[in-house]
Amino acid sequence: GAGVSQSPSNKVTEKGKDVELRCDPISGHTALYWYRQRLGQGLEFLIYFQGNSAPDKSGLPSDRFSAERTGESVSTLTIQRTQQEDSAVYLCASSSSPGITGNTIYFGEGSWLTVV
């Protein structure tokens, strides 16, 4: 597609339920990132995928969070047993040339998660 596509755009879930957020990166982009922005805070790195390499999961806040990516296509971020502090906008981004000077990452519009 022309841009990074995320779904759902909005999700309200009850505390304790599991949620899945989906990201479809820009076609041809090998690198995919997940970030989170909680209310009033900055962009928090969660996880990074590059091709078939092992993902960098260093930003995942707890073992309730996991993410998968099939090849260089769609990624799914899963939050198990959601808590109210998980309420945030989850942003996916992709790029074509990670690690190369001048590389830019492009964001989707985000998935707004509210845990009630």
Where does this chain bind other proteins (CB under 8 A)? 4, 6, 31, 33, 35, 41-43, 45, 48, 50, 56, 91, 95, 98-110, 112
H helix or E strand, kind and range, residue 34: strand 31-37
Triad 71, 94, 9: Cα angle to 5°:
100
**Smallest gap from residue 102 Cβ to other proteins (A):** 7
Nearer to other proteins, 41 or 52 (CB): 41
CA distance 81 to 59: 18
Task: In whole angstroms, give the CA distance from residue 31 to residue 41.
Answer: 24
In whole angstroms, the minimum distance from the beta carbon of 35 to other proteins comes to 8
The label of the residue with tokens 């830019």 reads: 104
Nearer to other proteins, 16 or 103 (CB): 103
Of the two residues 52 and 101, which places its CB atom closer to other proteins in the complex? 101
- Compute the least distance from the CB of residue 55 to other proteins, in Å: 11
CA–CA gap between residue 116 and residue 113 (Å, rounded): 10
Q: By C-beta, is 50 or 80 nearer to other proteins?
A: 50
